[in-house]
Amino acid sequence: MNPVSILLLGLAMSTDAFAAALGKGAGMLKPRLSEALRIGLIFGVVEAITPVIGWLLGSAASSIIENIDHWIAFGLLSALGVHMIYKALKADDTAEAESMEKKGLLPILLTGLATSIDAMAVGVGLAFIEVNIFIIAGVIGFCTFVMVTIGIMAGRVLGSLIGKRAEIAGGIILVLVGTTILYEHLNAVS
C-alpha cells in the first residue's frame, strides 16, 4: 500500500467515529477543547488497536468477523443512541448540564469500540497482504483522533443551536450511523 492509500484508508475508517462525535458533541453542554481532545484520543487509541487485533486474528476469523461486524456495530450504536434519546427525554435541566467527564468513560469507550468494528475487519483483510500493520493502525488512529476532536467541537455548535434537543439529535445520529453501517454491508452482499 502506498502512503496515499494508507491515508485514505485512515480517513475512511474515521468517518463513523466523526459522525458519532458530532452526536456526542451535540449532546454535551459546551464541550471544551480539552474534552474534545481527550475523547478524540480515546477514540483514536481504540481505532488504532482494533485493526491490529483483526490482523492478529488473520484468516481464521476472517469469515466470522466479516459476516457479523455490521450487526455488532449496528447493535452497539443503536443501543447507545436509543439510550441517549431516552436519557434526553427523561432529563431535567441539571442533568443536561453534565459534562462528558461526569458521564463517565464507559460510554465513550463503547462508542469508540462500536465505530471501530469495521477497522477490525479491515485488519483481518490486511493479514492477507504484505503491509506494516503498525503504520496503518497509527494512521487510522491519528485520523480518528483528528476527526473526532473536530466532530466534538462541531457538535458543540449544533448543540448550542438546538438546545435541549441536542442529546436527542446525538442519539439519532448514532442510530443513523449504525443503520448506515448495516445498510452498506447488507447492500454489498446483495
The single-letter DSSP state of residue 98 is -
| 166 vs 135: CA distance, rounded Å | 37
pLDDT at residue 63 is higher than 80: no
CA dihedral angle for residue 156, residue 161, residue 167, residue 169, rounded to 10 degrees: -110
| 31 vs 15: CA distance, rounded Å | 20
| 9 vs 1: CA distance, rounded Å | 10
Which one, of 167, 123, 147, 178, lies nearest residue 36 by Cα?
A: 147
- Only one residue has cell 476532536, namely 149
| 148 vs 41: CA distance, rounded Å | 8
Q: Look at residue 99 in the predicted model and tell me its pLDDT.
A: 40
Residue type, 183: Y
Q: What are the tens digits of pLDDT across the range 98-147?
A: 444 445 788 888 888 887 887 887 887 777 777 899 999 999 999 999 99
Q: Which helix (H) or strand (E) holds 89?
A: helix 33-90
Q: Look at residue 96 in the predicted model and tell me its pLDDT.
A: 38
Average pLDDT, the chain: 79
Residue 187 C-alpha from the chain's centroid: 21
Tell me the whole-structure pTM to 2 decimals.
Answer: 0.70
pLDDT average, residue stretch 36-59: 90
Q: Look at residue 190 in the predicted model and tell me its pLDDT.
A: 65
More confident residue, 95 or 17: 17
Residue 108 C-alpha from the chain's centroid: 9
Quickly state the pLDDT bin for 18 (edges 50, 70, 90).
confident
Quickly state the pLDDT bin for 93 (edges 50, 70, 90).
very low
pLDDT at residue 35 is higher than 70: yes
Q: CA separation (Å) from 58 to 13, 65, 68, 118, 133?
A: 19, 10, 16, 14, 12
Which one, of 62, 69, 25, lies nearest residue 43 by Cα?
A: 25
CB 148 within 8 A of CB 40: yes
